[in-house]
Structure 1
Amino acid sequence: MRVFGAVLMVSALLLSGAAAADASPSPITWGACPEDPDSPTPPDGECGTLRVPLDWNRPHGPSIDLAVARHRATDPAHRIGVLLADAGGPGTSGAEFALATSFFSPEVRARFDTVGFDVRGTGRSAFIRCDDTTVPPSDEPANRAEFDALRQYSRQEVADCRAGNLPVFDHADTAVNAQDMDALRRALGEEKISFQGMSYGTLLGQQYAEKYGEHVRALVLDSSIDHSVDLRHFVGDRATAADELFGQFTAWCDRTETCALHGQDVRATWERAFANAGTSLRDLVFSDMYGPNWDDVAQLIADAAAGRPPMTARFEYNYRSIRLAVVCQDFDLRIRDFAQYSAVRAEELRRGPIMRGSTLGHDEATACLGVAGPPANPPHRLDIARAPQVLLLNARYDPATPYAWARNIHRQAPANTTLLTYEGSGHVVYPRNTCTRSAVDDYLLTLKTPRHDVSCPA
């Protein structure tokens, strides 16, 4: 969607406080970072704002301010440059992530200024907030009437969310964020930047490399989003991944005496638990698969099988709101009618009969029911021919970004991608062990990737 006319102009001026944006970014004025009320110590770094055009097709039109944070290299005499990082979501604050002291190794923090920015709609960059307190109808409609009710609910939810968050709601897809990132590069005075993206942040890295590959020094894509997938693969690949992870949990429980289900028929117990608790149990189990936290999964299933209901899943940040402006514009998830939904759901259940599909894939696809028009940032095959050698990382068993997606990205860019496979379970690979961390650190510090695809043990 794109907004035109007086409504856009008035809303944008109120948002930006300025009538126009310069096509060339202004230097960032750095200062102290806002204190985190949940932290006893002040942030270790400096913060500022970057002013960019609201609409990059109108570079001298209304503007928007993006929050930026930087932690300077601790060994400035041997500084390599800037490492821009994004932890994904969508909904995570990139500015806060750049200041996290425990994620990157001391070697990386010594040689790089770690920089992050809050992409549009997150953190302190025109935060998108929608009312998600109303109780939606089931997102697994059993007939046409239930599907029509879900679609009507989604249409109203999207309309209300959009109306309350104009004009940024119409200008928040990942292609726009990639243009913002290049404005940040220029404002920092860097000819090239290194980038490390995790989860949904990998899509930002991919789209930046497609458009600005000559300005990339190094690119790490950890647990990748495949922007080429259609609706069927968007939900189906994730359904397969969820069931594969359940298989890994079952194997762990069979060999681990402390598992709450050890010695039981895990699959049969799961079926009893699911019959008692339904999709709320699946959502919690799916969330625990990110770790994975197998002890908690076992206890959740044991409790539900015994008739003790699980707690309702919670989502961090503003993911449930911002996905309507981002995911629904980055992917073509428009389900036309109940017949198409039934076909997609049947495929989802065929590929993921144990978990009954993927919480993430199914939820995002049905959330986008009410979005009108084609996606602003339509999916396509990856083209990063202008980018340098890229390091891909993915767990063999990942609930959110299936291993199949990493392999497909690798096939789309075989000449300049190397795939590192973590032979274990969970989401985000870099901090898993010495093997995964050293592979990324060596690449960032020396630009040397393994000569062939490699794997790291679980």
Structure 2
Amino acid sequence: MFRRLFVSALVPVVAMSVLAGAGEASAAPAWSPCQEGKPGECATVQVPVDWNNPSGEKVGVAIGRLKATEPEHRIGVLFVAPGGPGGSGIDLFVLGDNKLTTGELRKRFDIVTWDQRGVGRSNEVRCSAEILSRRPGDYPANEQQYRNLVAYNAELGADCRKHTGPLFDHLDTTNVVRDLDAVRGALGEEKISLFGSSYGSQVAQQYAESFPARLRAVTIGSNLDHSITSPGHYLATATADLEASFNAFADWCARTANCPLHGQDVRARWDALHAKAEAGTLTDPDNGQALSAEGLRGELLGAMFTPSSRWYAFATRLRSLAAGTKTGAAATSGTTAAEELGANSYQAIWCEDWKWRVDGYRELRALREQAAALAPHTKLSPFWNDVATCLGWPAEVTNPQHRLSISNAPKILIMTSAADVAAPHAWNVAVSQQISNSVLLTYDGVGHGQYTLSSCARAHVDRYLTDLVTPAPGTHCAAEYPTAPPMTAQRSLI
């Protein structure tokens, strides 16, 4: 990516014709610097837009690589599947700073990642910024709002298809998995090690289903359970872990003397703020505008991802909201009035993987009521949008939910948190039950992405990926919560 303009091919094209997942030769990557002044290389691999028509139109998938810093001890390629869907692997793992690419694994592996099809440098899903700006922000409160939501999704999807092109209808994870195997073939690697967290866990799961013989080792954390077909179960489990995460935060404040809310009843403080937001009387002191209950819950969700970098700031924010004093945090928007198109990768990819059956507004309202019954403080996870944004979406669900069927793959190390707002503990347990040759490692704290959250989990992953030694079944890692405000926030979650 930067140090040289070109790097010689790793293996001849002749050998790659045997290794490529599509059964055809894949050209060796022509590596060049991604960004001047930083280590790492970028290249593009051409893959079919439609893998059912491999000789048809092609799309370029951008890949990035950090070569092993101890090549004499190199084990092979560690492929890192980014989260999202919609996260740029190149931005996070090649150009960014994170624990995975600055630790022990960097010494022994060429770390390879990508911007998957429809993301970033790989024909990003683009849609009208004006239509994106009209996205409904609140859970539908009546029949008309429900109908408006469905109609909006249909309008937006048609617009995204127009601006994105043929790739729009071929974004599901099955296609992503085929792309990954094509990249493996282009690199000339008979086998790869694979790391996936969050949405990246689903990519890794499905790769293990389709290409188990191509795997040396697999680690998956904060897992999505792609077997969930009930929207009620999806919302209930997501909301339950939001409630559990909030309760852990409140307990942390109670025992941490320098928490900005120490000595106060955090649950009562939150409940009062939430009630004001629901009544439309909560004002954000940073901008003087009303802060909705959806907005407040969204801030809570974000804070629960990474306690070490966000809990002090969130406690300060709640204190400021209650007192009506400014925190200095300025809100930013994803697009500006001058932009004609905006990115919408998450929705476009997600809605080709998940088929949700919701029988109208009454059922959607009932789903909310069921979730709220489980969560007296937090009421509803903002991830209700994972269901609602797909209602009326015009693309076909080409990779619908299914139980995993993995055989002849190496032992898979699965990591979970005790509570995870974006990949609930229950999902990870379900995934471990679907993969017979797996070991479940539990981090007893709160958060998303155990490799970042836990030094103990990090040590187990490093040992497994280098030496192929998994922790004993039932292993737990102790919670690690902050004791002082962070100097800088972490850039990535893995």
Distance 1:118 1:79 in 2: 24
Q: How much does 1:308 deviate? A: 5.4
Q: Who is 2:104 aligned against?
A: 107
TM-score by length of 1: 0.88
**8 Å Cα contact 1:23-1:60 kept in structure 2:** no
The question of 1:416 aligning with 2:437 is answered yes
Q: Is the 8 A contact 1:331 1:379 kept in 2?
A: yes
C-alpha contact (below 8 Å) 1:31/1:46 kept by paired residues: yes
Could you tell me which residue of structure 2 aligns to residue 216 of structure 1?
215
Residue 386 of structure 1 deviates from its aligned partner by 2.2
Q: How does 1:370-385 map to 2 (within 5 A)?
A: 370-372=392-394, 375-385=397-407
Structure 2 distance, partners of 1:244, 1:441, is 29
**What displacement does 1:72 show?**
1.5
Q: Distance in 2 between matches of 1:91 and 1:348?
A: 27
2:421 to 399, 412, 415: 399
Moved more, 80-89 or 199-208: 80-89
**8 Å CA contact 1:120, 1:172 repeated in 2:** yes
Query: Does residue 84 of the first structure (1) align with residue 107 of the second (2)?
Result: no
Contact 2:26 2:182 in 1 (8 A): no
Question: Contact between 1:50 and 1:184, CA under 8 Å: does it hold in 2?
Answer: yes
What CA distance in whole angstroms lies between the structure 1 residues aligned with 2:175 and 2:429? 26
Equivalent residue number for residue 389 of structure 1: 411
Structure 2 counterpart of 1:324, from 335, 347, 353: 347
Is 1:283–1:313's contact at 8 Å kept on the other side of the alignment?
no
User: CA–CA distance in 2 between the matches of 1:314 and 1:268?
Assistant: 31
Residue pair 1:23, 1:53 contacting (<8 A) in 2 also = no
Contact 1:281 1:300 in 2 (8 A): no
Whole-Å Cα distance in 2 between the matches of residues 131 and 211 of structure 1? 36
Residues 32 and 47 of structure 1 are in contact (CA less than 8 Å); yes or no, is this contact kept in structure 2?
yes
Q: How far is the alpha carbon of 1:373 from its aligned partner?
A: 6.6
Corresponding residue for 2:482?
none
Give the stretch that moved more between structures: 133-142 or 83-92.
133-142
Q: Structure 2 CA distance, aligned partners of 1:67 and 1:196?
A: 18
Aligned partner (choices 338, 347, 371) of residue 348 of structure 1: 371
Instruction: Give per-residue Cα distances to partners, 1:109-136, cap 9 Å, x unaligned.
Output: 1211111111011121001122355233
Map residues 51-200 of structure 1 onto 2, 5 A cutoff: 51-99=46-94, 100=96, 102-104=98-100, 106-132=103-129, 133-200=132-199
How do residues 196-345 of structure 1 correspond to structure 2 at under 5 angstroms? 196-230=195-229, 231-274=231-274, 275=276, 276=282, 277=291, 278-292=293-307, 293-307=310-324, 312=331, 321-345=344-368
- Contact in 1 for aligned 2:127/2:342 (Cα 8 Å): no
Cα offset for 1:312? 4.8
Partner of 1:8: none
Q: TM-score, normalised by structure 2?
A: 0.82
Q: 1:28 to 1:93 in 2, by over 3 A?
A: farther
More displaced stretch, 54-63 vs 325-334: 325-334
Unaligned runs of 5+ in 2: 1-21, 277-281, 283-290, 336-340, 480-494
Cα 1:101–1:259 shift into 2, 3 Å: closer
- Residue 279 of structure 1 aligns to a residue in which SS? helix
> 1:96, CA displacement in angstroms?
3.2
TM-aligned CA deviation for residue 25 of structure 1: 4.1
For 2:249, give the aligned amino acid: F
Partner deviation per Cα, 1:286-329 (whole Å, 9 max, x = no partner): 1111112221221222222234588657679x997112221111
Letter of the 1:44 counterpart? P
Shift of 1:408: 0.7
Deviation at 1:73, TM superposition (A): 1.5
Paired residues of 1:139 and 1:150 also in contact (CA < 8 A): no
Deviation at 1:160, TM superposition (A): 1.4
CA distance, structure 2, for counterparts of residue 323 and residue 101 of structure 1: 23
Query: In the aligned structure 1, how far is the partner of 2:343 from the partner of 2:234?
Result: 18
- How far residue 148 of structure 1 moved from its aligned partner, in angstroms, is 1.2
Unaligned 5+ runs, structure 1: 1-21, 36-40
Taking only aligned residues, the RMSD between alpha carbons, in angstroms, comes to 2.2
